Amino acid sequence: MNIKGVGPTRNVIDIYNVNKVKATQKAESVKKDSLEISGAARALSNFSLGDDVMPRSEKVEALRMQVANGTYKPNNEKIAQAMINSISEGRV
């Protein structure tokens, strides 16, 4: 089939192929971000701002001992406030 009035399509295809190669090369040359966390930062990540200096595993073990001994006394006001905060923030 021959369509008159349309210029050479070979030039369009060549331009497309050149741009395709350039786009592939550009995608390959994109640098990726990286992050390294120091040992000190890893150690600090074991603590949260509201916690005492005691690591979480030690804190859990202390609570287990208190529950086992019958000496655990939960703070009902703190529990109620935490429940209200969770609901108001939509976490529940």
H/E/C letters for each residue in 6-59? CCCHHHHHHHHHHHHHHHHHHHHHCCCCCCCCCHHHHHHCCCCCCCCCCCHHHH
69 in a structural domain:
yes
Q: What is the pLDDT of residue 10?
A: 64
Handedness of CA 48, 52, 55, 59 (dihedral sign): negative
Domain-embedded: residue 88: yes
Which range of residues forms the domain containing residue 89? Answer: 55-92
Q: What is the DSSP letter of 70?
A: T
- Average pLDDT for residues 67-76, to the nearest whole number? 94
**What pLDDT, on a 0 to 100 scale, did the predictor assign at position 91?**
77
Q: pTM for the full model?
A: 0.34
pLDDT beyond 70 at 81: yes
Instruction: Encode pLDDT of 36-52 as tens digits.
Output: 888 888 777 766 555 55
Map residue 69 onto helix, strand or coil: helix
Number of separate domains in the chain:
1
Examine residue 19 and state whether it is found in any structural domain, yes or no. Answer: no
Residue 32 lies in a domain: no
**34 in a domain, yes or no?**
no
Residue 4 lies in a domain: no
DSSP one-letter code for 60:
H
